[in-house]
Structure 1
Amino acid sequence: MISCSDYDYIEIACMYRYSVKLTMKVGQPLEGIALDTARDESNNECLKLNVKERDILVILDEINKLEVLVENPHFSEVVFK
């Protein structure tokens, strides 16, 4: 389960609709626009990400690193524990 402090970074990315790159614990990285948090059909906490005009759900526990691809005053990257 993702920590509350790490969850704050997810919320900031969604609030400002940042373009982000997600490095996954397993598999290929994903790039898209952070939209919102949601739960999938298995009740996993997810990040709703717009990738090439298509919304997908990415399970938060499967994300290793989140990088913001635009300059901003909040943060540039966070590595999840």
Structure 2
Amino acid sequence: MDEYLPLNCDLYGYLEIACLHRYRLRIELVDGECLEAEALTTQTTVDKEEFLLVRAVAGERRLRLDRLLAITPLTPGASFARVLLNASRC
């Protein structure tokens, strides 16, 4: 797997809010995949890689943060709109 590239701290806050409120998200990955899932929590491995744990129709998934292109809350009344997380990968 590629070397992990940490997410900008300012952007990490959006993921924390999404998890705190269990927002349903439209998640765009840098490889072009899109999915809809509920944000559950973030995780950090002993190797300092960070992940977003989500619950989708097919079950729980662990998404490495540097593989996320953008998130868009689908939950009504969400406190933010679409957030581009990896602009350098567009």
Q: CA deviation at 1:34?
A: 0.2
Q: Determine which structure has the larger strand proportion and give its number.
A: 1
Hey, what does 1:28 align to over in structure 2?
Answer: 33
Which has the higher Rg, Structure 1 or Structure 2? Answer: 2
How many pairs align? 81
Whether the 8 Å contact between 2:23 and 2:78 is mirrored in structure 1 is: no
Q: CA deviation at 1:71?
A: 2.0
Q: Tell me the distance in 2 between the aligned counterparts of 1:56 and 1:42.
A: 19
Hey, what does 1:69 align to over in structure 2?
Answer: 74
Output the amino acid matched with 1:36: T
Name the TM-score, length of structure 1 as normaliser: 0.88
Identify which of 3, 20, 23 aligns with 1:18. 23
SS at match of 1:6: helix
Q: CA deviation at 1:11?
A: 0.2
- Deviating 4+ runs (over 3 angstroms): 39-43
Percentage of identical aligned residues: 27
Whether the 8 Å contact between 2:52 and 2:65 is mirrored in structure 1 is: yes
Structure 2: 5+ residue runs without aligned partners? 1-5
Identify which of 34, 57, 60 aligns with 1:55. 60
RMSD after superposition: 1.8
Whether the 8 Å contact between 1:40 and 1:57 is mirrored in structure 2 is: no
After superposition, what is the alpha-carbon deviation per residue over 1:20-56, rounded to whole angstroms, capped at 9, x for unaligned? 0111110310110000001358652000000116111
